[in-house]
A and B are shown apart, each in its own frame.
Chain A
Amino acid sequence: MPSIKSVGLRLFDWVDDRVQIKALVDYMAHKSVPRHDHEIWYYFGGLSLFFFIIQVCSGILLLLYYRPGADSAYESVQFIISKVQFGWLIRAIHSWSANLMILAVVIHMFSVFFTRAYRKPREITWLTGMGLLGLVLFFGFSGYLLPWNELAFFATKVGTGMAGVVPLAGGFLMKLLRGSDEVTGATITRFFGFHVAVLPALFTAVLTVHLLLVQRQGMSEPESWESRPESQKRRMPFFPNFLLRDLLVWLIALNVLAILAVFFPYGIGPLHWDLGLKADPFSSPPAHIRPEWYFMFMFQSLKFLPAKILLVDGEVVGIIGFGLAGVFWTLIPFFDRTTEKGRRKRLYAYTGLVAVMFVLVMTFLGYILD
């Protein structure tokens, strides 16, 4: 009777004989991860991946009962949370995980920015990461409409309306998103298509490139290590040490997610997704209509802008401003080519700090001035 270990080894040899995976395992075994005071930021990439996996699993379960369409979307979500066994839990996990995933991705992005981990040779990794951030935000935006409730309807109307003010392509963009001139049943099926087919396909492709690059190039070392001799650089093996630590973080995240989903299945405070009333295009918008927290800083900034800025609509100026800022932020590895002690390096760090402060203050004002 052969032991389980010997069966496993034979199976491994059988596969290796055909696809040569030993090289990959050897590579992982020899790969190491830098150890330093800021190593905690390394875990946010993995954490984002964990929440993405949760999203895929819970999303597939929701798909079993969700029916897109103006006459069925709201009713099917109501059915999921009230009739389907553990349906409430799956929806709560999907909603919480979506928000936590965006939070993890945003933290991951800012940690990479402030540690300047985007510098050569990791420019492509940064670009794919920014692509993933954009896709995650679109995931959130498209998923928000799917329950077809009052709040989602009007938030989507405002959101897609903003796309409409983009110069030149605005009209086309808005129609592309809405599927008609207004937010209708056609918009749900369109957003549903984006949310469960287009975005996952794109996300998986970009994520694969992102992970391959991370594996290929390894974790970015701190800038202070550039002048340090190899003997003074502390490292830990990627396998099993870093992988086990990653797993530990995932388990803690799973615990937090479970507690949040069970105790606050419909969110907490301003972060809520209770179903409420079904969307009625002929009703007046409810009071306190506002976007999700990750769009709040843009929403609030646009509200502060005057109606006209040098004969141009304030909203148009704001949208163009955010668009240019996004492009600048994405291309930062190509602008920031300075040395360790260069003055421009500090300029970019301060720019990042101002950006973080701006986002935090505008988000805060968005909630307290509501």
Chain B
Amino acid sequence: MRHRILFLLLTLSIVALSAPVAAADEGNCFSCHNEWEEGKDTPSKRWPADIHKDAGLTCSDCHGGDPSLDDMDAVRASKGYRGAPKATEIPGFCGRCHGDAAYMNKYNPSLPIDQWEKYKTSMHGMRLAKGDVKAATCISCHSVHNIAPANTPTSTVYAINIPKTCAACHANAAYMAGYNIPTDQYDKFAKSVHGVALLEKEDIGAPACNDCHGNHGALPPGIDDISAVCGLCHAKNAMLFDQSPHKQAFQEQNLPQCETCHSNHDIIKPMDAMIGTGPESLCSNCHSQGDGDKGYATAQAVSVMLDSLVKTEQKATDVIARAEQKGMSVTDQLFALKDVHSTLIESRTLIHSFTLEKIKPELDKGIQLGAAVYQQGLEILGEYSFRRTGLGVATILITFVALLIWLKIRRIER
């Protein structure tokens, strides 16, 4: 009975969404429940932090009933009383207001109103429709009675909080038993380049679970969808891949596009060693020496040139740093070094064309530019030596004249 009351109270706030702005009177619901409920994490204690409260909604706006009545049985018997929804009723409970454009316009016209429709197409929605009450509903992700706007850091669906919100179920092996899907996504994601950016560096531009899987319409991306999903951010890489010989080859072998080389949840920061024919190379997973394998030759050539560009950039950076340390002006060279680094980034991107003719010009440009900066660095260091020599000669001459004057002074004062 007690659990039922609690559940009823939890859902009361959700129903509040449907209330008009004018119905700001809390009535007896809040005052009684606040008095009865024990503990700090109860619906009435959560309620002050809820966005619906800020919008002027009350318990009865969601849960119905007459809030002016003192007796709970009388409330249940009153007109429009909806009480606490069952798990399967929750999407419709929220969607009653959130799917109503005219109603939502009064509160937040920029908020989408298709969440319920999308939810029905999601894996969660489909499972719930089949009666799987373990499937996530609105409150599983957004919490309840203390719902915060998604763009505030306290929200369970704030970008940085999303992985943990999803992991609450998806990383729980006991809860996920029977669904036959892995439960290590969060651990893998947390170590990935995206996870580190989002969770450690708190870069909310980095993707969270929903950026690849969708949110209300969450589904695992299909093999053909992966490059489109990654391409949303990595647009040029996706475009180059689509024009590359790998596009058709991957399709023929039913291989996912980006994921085949970069993995999915545990995407690490790409290394130059991933290209080429070395032990860490990914190319050699499919390509092998001999039999005129063009892919193997391309990988080998690109790897050699990429390595050369990296070393040239490093050499040029070192020599310019030495010159700068000696107090020489290297402003132009520092700008040129940025250009060298840009060619390196561009070359790494162009690798996704998997075509030597497209990658080589950029690599050549970078190597030549890096070599020129290195040469200028040597010249600047030469100039530094020249200055020291010049100073030495000047100092000797000045000292010699000073010595003559000193001798003259001694002679005339003797």
Contact = CB atoms under 8 A, between A and B. Distances in A.
Given A241-B412, A258-B398, A81 B329 contact: yes
B73 interface: no
Contact of A88 (B329, B391, B398): B329
Interface string A213-255: 0000000000000000000000010001100110110011011
Interface in B320-365: 327, 329, 331-332
B399 A262 contact: no
A240 B402 contact: no
Given A247-B405, A251-B405, A78 B331 contact: yes
B179 interface: no
Contacts of B395: 255, 258-259
B391 A259 contact: yes
Nearest to B396: A255
Given A252-B402, A262-B391, A236 B327 contact: no
Interface in B368-402: 387-388, 390-391, 394-395, 398-399, 401-402
Contacts of A247: 405
B387 A254 contact: no
B406 A262 contact: no
Interface centre among B327, B398, B406 (most CB of A within 10 A): B327
Nearest to A88: B329
B341 to A, nearest CB: 20
Contact of A248 (B329, B331, B332, B405): B405
Interface residues of B, number: 20
B413 A241 contact: yes
B331 A251 contact: no
A336 B399 CA distance: 43
A255 B408 contact: no
A236 B390 CA distance: 37
Contact of B409 (A89, A241, A255, A262): A241
Contact of A251 (B329, B388, B402): B402
B interface SS class? helix
Contacts of B394: 258
B404 to A, nearest CB: 10
B329 A82 contact: yes
Given A247-B405, A264-B327, A254 B391 contact: no
Nearest to B329: A82
Interface string A253-284: 01100110011111000000000000000000
Given A81-B329, A82-B332, A266-B327, A255 B405 contact: no
A256 to B, nearest CB: 10
A89 B331 CA distance: 17
Contacts, number: 48
A258 B402 contact: no
A248 B409 contact: yes
B60 to A, nearest CB: 51
Contacts of B406: 248
Contacts of A240: 412
Contacts of A265: 327
B401 A251 contact: yes
Nearest to A78: B331
A236 B402 CA distance: 20
B272 to A, nearest CB: 33
Nearest to B388: A262
B382 to A, nearest CB: 15
Contact of A82 (B331, B390, B398, B408): B331
Given A255-B399, A258-B398, A264-B327, A244 B332 contact: no
Contacts of B408: 244
Interface in A294-351: none
Contacts of A262: 387-388, 390-391
A78 B413 CA distance: 50
A229 to B, nearest CB: 23
B217 to A, nearest CB: 44
Given A252-B402, A258-B391, A244 B327 contact: no
Contacts of A255: 395, 398-399, 402
Contact of A236 (B329, B388, B398, B413): B413
A236 B413 CA distance: 9
A245 to B, nearest CB: 6
B391 A248 contact: no
B406 to A, nearest CB: 6
A245 B407 CA distance: 11
B306 to A, nearest CB: 32
B386 to A, nearest CB: 10
Contacts of A78: 331
A345 B391 CA distance: 48
B338 to A, nearest CB: 16
Interface in A80-128: 81-82, 88-89
B384 to A, nearest CB: 9
A173 B413 CA distance: 54
Contact of A254 (B329, B398, B413): B398
Contacts of B388: 262
Contacts of B401: 251
A58 B387 CA distance: 18
A252 B402 CA distance: 7
Nearest to B327: A265
Contacts of B405: 244, 247-248, 251
Interface in A55-69: none
Interface in B158-174: none
A11 to B, nearest CB: 24
Contacts of A251: 398-399, 401-402, 405
Given A241-B409, A251-B401, 7 more contacts: A247-B405, A255-B399, A258-B394, A262-B388, A262-B390, A263-B391, A264-B327
21 contacts: A82-B331, A88-B329, A236-B413, A240-B412, A241-B412, A244-B409, A247-B405, A248-B405, A248-B406, A251-B398, A251-B401, A251-B402, A252-B402, A255-B398, A255-B402, A259-B391, A259-B395, A262-B388, A262-B390, A264-B327, A265-B327
Interface of A: 78, 81-82, 88-89, 236, 240-241, 244-245, 247-248, 251-252, 254-255, 258-259, 262-266
What are the nearest 10 A-B pairs in CB distance?
A: A251-B402, A262-B391, A82-B329, A248-B405, A255-B398, A81-B329, A244-B409, A265-B327, A262-B387, A251-B398
